[in-house]
Structure 1
Amino acid sequence: MDRVISLPRPLRPALRAVTYTRWLHLFIGAVLAVVVAMVSPGLGNDTSLAHFALMLVTPVPLLAVAALIPAMRTAESVQVDLLLYPGDRPHPDIARSPSQSWGDKVRVFGWLVTRLWLGFVTVTVTVNGAAGVVGMLVPSVWDGLTAEPLGLHEHWQWWYRLLAPVAAVLVYAALWASGAAMAALAPKLLGPSPAERLAKLEERTERLLEHNRLARELHDTIGHALTVAVVQAGAARAAGSPEFTERALAAIEDTGREALNDLDRVLKVLREDAAPVSRRPTLADAGRLVESARGAGAEVRTDISGDLDAVPGPVSREGYRMLQECLTNVLRHAGPVPTTVRIAAGGGRLELEVRSKLPAESAAGTGGSGLRGIRERAELLGGAAECGPCDGEWRVRVELPIAG
């Protein structure tokens, strides 16, 4: 059986591609400094402080102009994804949109300057460090180097070869640390601004609210369909009439088909399917719910006034779901009892009221998830819902504003 040879933990980054892509990222950032050094005063033996200052300061105005370009943040973010975090999914804390504010541009400028200066240090350490390590191993190379900065003798000594591995590790550690520093700074300087983070949080909140709404719709639709199916099946078995059984099966079929359509629509939304989804039912489709309840044996009387087609879409759709939940609760808790449905639209408000015989065994509690959902829907639309016993009946009354 083959054994896998693993390096000591401190040396493991040497085998990771990210160490070298980060090194390349810093090298690219130092290009302007190298260009300045080649133009004036030229690459040579001038190692004065003024020489280095010229290389590091001259490109700064150019970087300031580049930072003013909104797309610069996007370009830098692409490089960060490719070189600082290669192979990983896009870093969640890196903004990939153009700069939106002066604060974004200032942070991009800080990023460019940091990349320039740290990149220049990385180039210097790489070139001189590599030359020093090779010189420690090869005497002829050492004779062409300046030994004083290393604190060593001017002429090569045999024991320099013993220092070469130590020097190589130090150079490697410096390069790894530079790359890690840039990776740590990237989310701070190229990350989204507080306003962008807030907008992203609001978008996520909207998605969660939408998913909760869809889950509630599924609860209402599937619960209604199953309740109707159970009541219809029980009534058909008790009646023992072929004609009644035929009507019950037809009602079950219609209700099940409607539930399947709603289920398909909700799943398409959750999957973010590009295909158009079917229309959500509104109060104009309330007749389907009434006929479904009647098919289950309930005596449903309706009193509808006003133009339901003129009710705003959100209010009408939520009103449909409230009515569906009310009729489902009637069939589930009281059975096929006489029920009155009143819908009135006009005067800037929509009134929805459902009355049914109160179950004999209880004054039905008001803490069920269905009733709580009705109250929540009403409150979100700026209205109110009342649920409870009234004059010997169970009443659900909802009032919603529809003006404007």
Structure 2
Amino acid sequence: MSFSLSTVFRPLTRAVTYTRWLHQLIASVAGTLAGFVHGGTFRSTGMEVWLWIAVLPVPGLLAAALIPAVRRVEGLQAQLLLTPGPHGPEERAGTGISTTPSLSWRDRGRTAGWLLLRLAVGVPVSALTVQLPVLSFAFLQAAAGHRTHFRGLPAIDAPHGWYALLVPLPLVVLLAVAVSAGSLMAAAAGLLLGPSAAERLAVLETRTERILEHNRLAQELHDSIGHALTVTVLQAGAARAAGSPEFTDRALAAVEETGRQALTDLERALRLLREDVPHPAARPVLADAERLLESARAAGSTVRAELSGPLAALPGPVSREGYRMVQEALTNVLRHAGPVPVSVRIAADADALELEVRNPMPASPAPVAVGRGLRGLRERAVLLGGKAVAGPDEDGEWRVHARLPLARLR
């Protein structure tokens, strides 16, 4: 029995019950204003007044539904008053109620249906909210032995004490109607104000782009941090083996520069992952490729570089991804072949960007495995409409080659 009573009285302790009730009362405001404009409305008696309030605003509501911003206003109001709990951005997004303006005639039609439903439910609830407490007071007066005759209610000409038993009944009915109507409107809001197919698709695309962006950041961190650690390990080993203070100073300087760049990349990635930072630090581009070459030279490799074409004028996506591809190729050289001679060619023309990194194969090469680095290099090329290959060539060298088209990105 206690469980049943708690179930019955639980809605009375929830704030959302009363905010939904308020939402229903607000629906009759348009009818009340229309009644003042339409002369003679409030000279009617009884239910006629409420019928006028329910009918007069219909043309205006249908016209208002054609305005795109009305859907946004109704969505915000429904989120705030019909849904329980906190109302931060994340919580509002989980209500299933859209707050975007109407984007199509279908959205306008659903908005019109919502406005008419609000009116059809809100006016009766408003009428009961006014009349039922008056009826309880009339029963109370009759129980005290007084004849009663309130406007819109039947007269009680034979007062009697047993009317006291009826005093709470109108209030119970009013609360039951308010709770039920509030639940109905909350469910209807999801149907009539919920995201359209186009909005759901846009949300899905945004979520997909965010996932892809996170994957790209993970790949960039792999390339940048992997390169920095590889250079650091090689520099430390070379400095220990050389036993030369001058060489050690150069090695420490290279480790410092490489580590600083890796920290910059890490900070940029972390800033991108924070939604409250809209302008992260700029990403390195091919115009900064000399920094990669110096890092490889500092690690002990002899680097022969050939850079040609307008590298500074390359489209941003090609230039940034090209930088990472060269970085990954040089990291693989240092990691798997050590400080060997490396040939780097970066050539840009009107049609394409070509990248090529060559190095001698180790005397005892390990079995070739397609790791994350080479796979990421190929994925970068494919995303830009190009192609990348990596493997031994006919001269016995390891060759990484990529061609990225430029025509469609200009």
- Aligned counterparts of 1:272 and 1:8: Cα–Cα separation in 2: 43
Asked if the contact 1:21–1:86 (Cα under 8 Å) also holds between the matched residues in 2, the reply is no
Q: Cα–Cα, structure 1 residues 46 and 291, in superposed 2: closer, same or farther, change >3 Å?
A: closer
**2:368 is aligned with 1:364:** yes
Matched with 2:116 is: 113
- Please report how far the alpha carbon of residue 54 of structure 1 lies from its aligned counterpart in structure 2 after TM superposition: 4.1
- Please report how far the alpha carbon of residue 164 of structure 1 lies from its aligned counterpart in structure 2 after TM superposition: 4.3
State the secondary structure of the residue aligned to 1:98: coil
**2:179 is aligned with 1:212:** no
Asked if the contact 2:361–2:398 (Cα under 8 Å) also holds between the matched residues in 1, the reply is yes
Matched with 1:3 is: none
Q: Cα–Cα, structure 1 residues 154 and 375, in superposed 2: closer, same or farther, change >3 Å?
A: farther
Matched with 1:19 is: 17
List structure 1 segments (4+ residues) > 6 angstroms apart after TM superposition: none
- Aligned counterparts of 1:235 and 1:7: Cα–Cα separation in 2: 80
Q: Cα–Cα, structure 1 residues 62 and 140, in superposed 2: closer, same or farther, change >3 Å?
A: farther
Gaps of 5+ in 1: 1-5
Matched with 1:266 is: 269
TM superposition score normalised by structure 1: 0.87
- Please report how far the alpha carbon of residue 75 of structure 1 lies from its aligned counterpart in structure 2 after TM superposition: 2.4
- Aligned counterparts of 1:291 and 1:319: Cα–Cα separation in 2: 17
Asked if the contact 2:301–2:340 (Cα under 8 Å) also holds between the matched residues in 1, the reply is yes
Aligned residue identity for 2:206: E
Aligned residue identity for 2:71: R
State the secondary structure of the residue aligned to 2:109: helix
> Per-residue CA shift, 1:151-197, capped at 9, x if unaligned?
xx984554444454455333211111111111222232223322233
- Please report how far the alpha carbon of residue 208 of structure 1 lies from its aligned counterpart in structure 2 after TM superposition: 2.7
Matched with 1:317 is: 320
> Per-residue CA shift, 1:54-76, capped at 9, x if unaligned?
44222201111222222222322
- Aligned counterparts of 1:275 and 1:20: Cα–Cα separation in 2: 39
**2:237 is aligned with 1:234:** yes
In the TM superposition, 1:4-403 aligns within 5 A as 8-34=6-32, 39-42=39-42, 45-47=45-47, 53-85=51-83, 88-89=86-87, 91-92=92-93, 93-139=96-142, 143-144=147-148, 155=158, 158-165=161-168, 167-272=170-275, 277-346=280-349, 348-359=351-362, 360-366=364-370, 368-391=371-394, 392-403=396-407
State the secondary structure of the residue aligned to 1:395: strand
Q: Cα–Cα, structure 1 residues 174 and 238, in superposed 2: closer, same or farther, change >3 Å?
A: same
- Aligned counterparts of 1:166 and 1:337: Cα–Cα separation in 2: 93
> Per-residue CA shift, 1:293-327, capped at 9, x if unaligned?
11111222223333322332211110110010111
- Please report how far the alpha carbon of residue 102 of structure 1 lies from its aligned counterpart in structure 2 after TM superposition: 2.1
- Aligned counterparts of 2:380 and 2:334: Cα–Cα separation in 1: 21
State the secondary structure of the residue aligned to 1:354: strand
Asked if the contact 2:98–2:193 (Cα under 8 Å) also holds between the matched residues in 1, the reply is yes
- Please report how far the alpha carbon of residue 95 of structure 1 lies from its aligned counterpart in structure 2 after TM superposition: 2.7
Q: Cα–Cα, structure 1 residues 307 and 235, in superposed 2: closer, same or farther, change >3 Å?
A: same
Asked if the contact 1:225–1:259 (Cα under 8 Å) also holds between the matched residues in 2, the reply is yes
The number of residues matched between the two structures is 393
What RMSD, in angstroms, separates the aligned Cα atoms of the two structures? 2.9
Quick check: 72-81 or 321-330, which moved more? 72-81
Q: Cα–Cα, structure 1 residues 35 and 346, in superposed 2: closer, same or farther, change >3 Å?
A: closer
- Please report how far the alpha carbon of residue 18 of structure 1 lies from its aligned counterpart in structure 2 after TM superposition: 1.6
Aligned residue identity for 2:55: V
- Aligned counterparts of 1:144 and 1:375: Cα–Cα separation in 2: 88
- Please report how far the alpha carbon of residue 85 of structure 1 lies from its aligned counterpart in structure 2 after TM superposition: 3.1
Asked if the contact 1:363–1:389 (Cα under 8 Å) also holds between the matched residues in 2, the reply is no
- Aligned counterparts of 2:141 and 2:190: Cα–Cα separation in 1: 43
- Aligned counterparts of 1:177 and 1:335: Cα–Cα separation in 2: 75
TM superposition score normalised by structure 2: 0.86
- Aligned counterparts of 1:46 and 1:347: Cα–Cα separation in 2: 82
Quick check: 312-321 or 162-171, which moved more? 162-171
Gaps of 5+ in 2: none
State the secondary structure of the residue aligned to 1:322: helix
